[in-house]
Every structure is written in structure tokens, then in C-alpha cells.
Amino acid sequence: MKRNLLLPFLCVCTLILICSCVKDTDFDQADEIALTPVVELDLIYFNLEASDFFDSISQTPRLEVTDTTEIRFLDDTFVQEDLKSAEFLFNFTNSIPRNFQVDFRFLNETNDTTYTAGTTVAEGSLANPVVTSYTETVIDEDVISLTQADRVVVVVTIPSADASLEGALNLQSKTTYFLEIKD
């Protein structure tokens, strides 16, 4: 009696497994798989004092301060092929009673500018530092230009400066890269 039930039971179980596993499977969908990782990285930061905009030895204003940061990962073949967009977030805290023009120039190995961005930072005071946020979104053809860069040059320009100027200008920034990996 046990043998008579065992064989039909195994046949029914096998039939259920075969029908349930294969019936609605579309193997062509495997070609349509795309991974879309989002990568967030710190990009640039600096703390400039008001005295950085005045040369105390020659007693002359220094109206422009520059800084260069290497970003070698952008010129990688993997990034160039799979980067769909990028978003830069720049947060400035200004306690200097002057407006600033801040320009970002992305350069390649031969010092050619591949991408530029810029913003104005509102003036603040020691008692009331002002926070200015700036977001730059890079899409479409600009992404290709951006991926050619291997460093970014930040140029901070102040309209006027003297020895009595006080305060600081701070920058913290991050970048978010949106990738799409297909194979």
C-alpha cells in the first residue's frame, strides 16, 4: 500500500516543480539588466582666513586665491563609459564682509579646461556668518567633458581687501556620481 501511493506522489511533486519553475520565465530579460550605483564622495574643502587676501609684507591686496585638487578617478575608462550624470554640492560659510566669486575649472592632463562652473558667495560678518549653497548638475554632453578632467582648480576672487579685514571663508563640498552599468 505504501508503494502504490509513493510513485503517484513523486510524479505529482515533479510535475508541480517543472511547471512552476519554467512556465513564465523569460530568459531574454537577462540582457536588459542594468546596475545603477550612486557614489557620493567628498570633493573639495578649504578654510581661508581674511588675511589670506592681503599680503602683509608688500602691503597689497591679494584679490585672487587658487587651489588645485587632483581628481584622477574621472579619467578612468570605466567611469567615462558608465557615468550618466554628476551633481556637485558646494556649501560656503562666509564671515568676511565681502562677496566672493568662486569659479571651478576642471582641467585635463594638458591643462585644457574641460568643464567650468561658478557661483557668487554672499557676504557675511563675524557676528552673523552667511551660508551659501550651490548645486551644479552635469548631464548629457557635459558629462563627457567632465570625465576628461584629472584635476579641478578653484579660484576665489574678492573685490577688495585690506589689512583690517577679518573673518573666514569655508568651503565643504561633495559630489554624487550616477552610474549605469550594462553588460
pLDDT tens per residue, range 51-102: 999 998 999 999 999 999 998 777 677 777 889 999 999 999 999 999 999 9
Return the CATH number at 99.
Answer: 2.60.120.660
Lowest mean per-residue pLDDT among 11-20, 98-107, 110-119, 171-180: 11-20
In the three-class reduction of DSSP (H, G, I as helix; E, B as strand; rest coil), residue 51 is classed as: helix
**Other beta carbons within 10 Å of 105:** 19
Which band of pLDDT confidence, cut at 50, 70 and 90, is reported for residue 21? low
Domain that holds residue 158: 34-182
- What is residue 177's predicted lDDT score, i.e. its pLDDT? 92
**3 belongs to a structural domain:** no
**139 belongs to a structural domain:** yes
Sign of CA dihedral 17, 18, 24, 28: positive
- What is residue 66's predicted lDDT score, i.e. its pLDDT? 96
Quote the mean pLDDT of the chain. 88
The predicted model gives 35-44 an average pLDDT of: 89
List, for residues 100-123, the tens digit of each pLDDT value. Answer: 999 999 999 999 999 999 999 999
**27 belongs to a structural domain:** no
**10 belongs to a structural domain:** no
**171 belongs to a structural domain:** yes
**23 belongs to a structural domain:** no
Which band of pLDDT confidence, cut at 50, 70 and 90, is reported for residue 34? confident
- What is residue 47's predicted lDDT score, i.e. its pLDDT? 96
- What is residue 3's predicted lDDT score, i.e. its pLDDT? 54
C-alpha torsion angle, residues 57, 96, 123, 132 (rounded to 10): 110
Question: Alpha-carbon distance 91 to 177, whole Å?
Answer: 18
Question: Alpha-carbon distance 55 to 38, whole Å?
Answer: 43
- What is residue 2's predicted lDDT score, i.e. its pLDDT? 52
Domain tally for the chain? 1
β-strand pairing of 181-182 with 130-139 = unpaired
- What is residue 30's predicted lDDT score, i.e. its pLDDT? 62
**22 belongs to a structural domain:** no
**121 belongs to a structural domain:** yes
